[in-house]
């Protein structure tokens, strides 16, 4: 692994730690971007990377995004991320999760982890047996926050899509609005179900084409192949899979006036947000629209630290504020001519003292 501090995505991270436990087979990267507002919070990704530097880039980008996401959501949390380098067969053992929990605990509360791609609520319960610095644990009783953050992320994205449709298209309802969703897992599938209830027209795609087809049957939606979804003519393109899809090629393929979805790090590089703006495409900055999950798990963790149960109504209240933040960004972008992603970055950087 080459020097990570020479990477373009290294952004004065406070800590970047490589953890290797030979006995369990754990190899992980823990990246803390900022603790200016509080302990660095962000999920753990379990993924097989073709090259180790791909994992490092993911950890660096995702942890920075969490700093911005938590700041913009008004949470007293910094930004961090963990990436576990999964073997090719993606085998995950109790010993590996225990070793990872020990690595988190060794940071003494500077990092609070939760679920992300490849990690489940059950996995977080296993990790919590080794450290208290875990969120996304099962809710304790009715009306309590907690559990899988995916559905809360989906609710926030749903609110954000409706705000984008209102802002760009002047429509107060998504009834009849055509939304093309890339990825229909925990988050994208939840977004699709919420939009379907409101009468939106949906085109679904997923690398698991069987999953997309099954959900399409349930919702009366259409499907598109994974390599075709970005070119579907629609009102909203909603990316809800992995990131960096909005590069030169991807942006050129878009046939939608709005991009609003839950994938992290959607823009390939700096400047791609401006390319969207140049095409007249309204972009919802990813870490603003997809903050629902971290809002849920952060409030759960903070409440538990005080010996209380997180209030689900407080989570819902904060999810409903996501559209207001997006509109503020879009209005400032229109006023200044600066693309929405840069507007959001500048606000977030100020909030974390940078």
Q: Which residue has the tokens 């660096």?
A: 60
pLDDT of 169: 98
With bands split at pLDDT 50, 70 and 90, how would you rate the model's confidence at 138? confident
- The mean pLDDT of the chain is 93
d(CA 119, CA 47): 9
Q: Which runs of consecutive H residues, i.e. helices, occur in 12-105?
A: 52-72, 94-105
Say if residues 354 and 80 touch (Cβ distance below 8 Å): no
Q: Could you please report the per-residue DSSP string of 262-319?
A: --SS-BSSTTHHHHHHHTT-EE--HHHHTTHHHHHHHHHHHHHHTT-PPBHHHHHHHH
| Lowest mean per-residue pLDDT among 285-289, 310-314, 317-321 | 310-314
- Give the CA distances from residue 157 to residues 93, 153, 326, 345, in Å, rounded to whole numbers and listed in that order: 33, 6, 11, 19
Predicted confidence (pLDDT) at residue 94 exceeds the cutoff of 90: yes
Q: Counting beta carbons within 10 angstroms of the beta carbon of residue 24, is it exposed (0 to 12), middle (13 to 18) or buried (19 or more)?
A: middle
**Token pair in block for residue 170:** 């002047």
11-68 pLDDT, tens digit per residue, is 999 999 999 999 999 999 999 999 999 999 999 999 999 888 899 999 999 999 999 9
Predicted confidence (pLDDT) at residue 144 exceeds the cutoff of 70: no
pLDDT of 4: 66
Longest dimension (CA), the chain: 58
Q: What is the mean pLDDT of residues 297-305?
A: 88
Say if residues 298 and 77 touch (Cβ distance below 8 Å): yes
| Lowest mean per-residue pLDDT among 97-106, 141-150, 172-181 | 141-150
The neighbouring-strand residues paired with 45 are 83
H-helix or E-strand containing 223?
strand 222-223
pLDDT of 2: 55
Predicted confidence (pLDDT) at residue 139 exceeds the cutoff of 90: no
Predicted confidence (pLDDT) at residue 348 exceeds the cutoff of 70: yes
With bands split at pLDDT 50, 70 and 90, how would you rate the model's confidence at 3? low
pLDDT of 308: 66
Catalytic residues, by residue number, are: 81
pLDDT of 243: 82
Domains of the chain: 4-66+77-128 (3.40.50.10860), 150-289+323-351 (3.40.50.720)
pLDDT of 253: 97
Predicted confidence (pLDDT) at residue 146 exceeds the cutoff of 70: no
pLDDT of 36: 97
pLDDT of 142: 58
How many residues can be counted in the chain?
A: 354
Q: How many CB atoms lie within 10 A of CB 310?
A: 24
Q: What is the pTM of this model?
A: 0.91
pLDDT of 226: 95
Higher pLDDT, 332 or 116: 332
Predicted confidence (pLDDT) at residue 332 exceeds the cutoff of 60: yes
Say if residues 206 and 185 touch (Cβ distance below 8 Å): yes
H-helix or E-strand containing 236?
strand 236-239
| Lowest mean per-residue pLDDT among 159-173, 183-197, 293-307, 334-348 | 293-307
């Amino acid at each position: 692994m080459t020097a990570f501090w020479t990477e373009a995505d290294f952004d004065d991270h406070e800590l970047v730690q490589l953890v290797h436990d030979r006995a369990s087979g754990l190899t992980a990267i823990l990246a803390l971007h900022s603790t200016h507002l509080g302990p660095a919070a962000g999920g753990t990704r379990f993924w097989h990377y073709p090259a180790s530097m791909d994992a490092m880039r993911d950890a660096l980008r995702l942890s920075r995004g969490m700093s911005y996401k938590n700041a913009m959501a008004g949470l007293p949390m910094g930004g961090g991320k963990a990436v576990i380098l999964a073997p090719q067969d993606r085998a995950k053992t109790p010993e590996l999760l225990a070793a990872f929990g020990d690595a988190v605990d060794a940071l003494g509360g500077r990092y609070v982890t939760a679920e992300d791609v490849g990690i489940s609520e059950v996995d977080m319960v296993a990790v919590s047996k080794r450290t208290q610095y875990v969120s996304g644990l099962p809710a304790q009783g009715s009306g309590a926050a907690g559990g899988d953050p995916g559905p809360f992320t989906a609710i926030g994205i749903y609110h954000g899509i409706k705000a984008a449709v209102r802002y760009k298209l002047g429509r107060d309802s998504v009834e009849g609005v055509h939304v093309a969703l890339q990825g229909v897992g925990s988050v994208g599938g939840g977004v699709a179900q919420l939009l379907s209830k409101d009468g939106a027209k949906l085109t679904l795609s997923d690398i698991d084409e069987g999953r997309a087809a099954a959900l399409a049957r349930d919702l009366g939606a259409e499907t598109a192949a994974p390599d075709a979804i970005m070119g579907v003519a629609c009102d909203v393109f909603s990316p809800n899979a992995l990131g960096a899809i909005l590069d030169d090629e991807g942006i050129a393929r878009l046939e939608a006036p709005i991009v609003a979805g839950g994938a992290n790090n959607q823009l390939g590089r700096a400047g791609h947000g401006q390319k969207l703006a140049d095409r007249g495409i309204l972009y919802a900055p990813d870490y603003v629209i997809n903050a629902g999950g971290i809002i849920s798990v952060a409030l759960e963790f903070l409440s538990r630290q005080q010996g209380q149960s997180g209030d689900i109504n407080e989570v819902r209240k904060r999810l409903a504020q996501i559209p207001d933040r997006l509109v503020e960004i879009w209005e400032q972008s229109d006023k200044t001519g600066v693309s929405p992603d840069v507007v959001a970055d500048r606000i977030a950087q100020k909030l974390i003292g940078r």
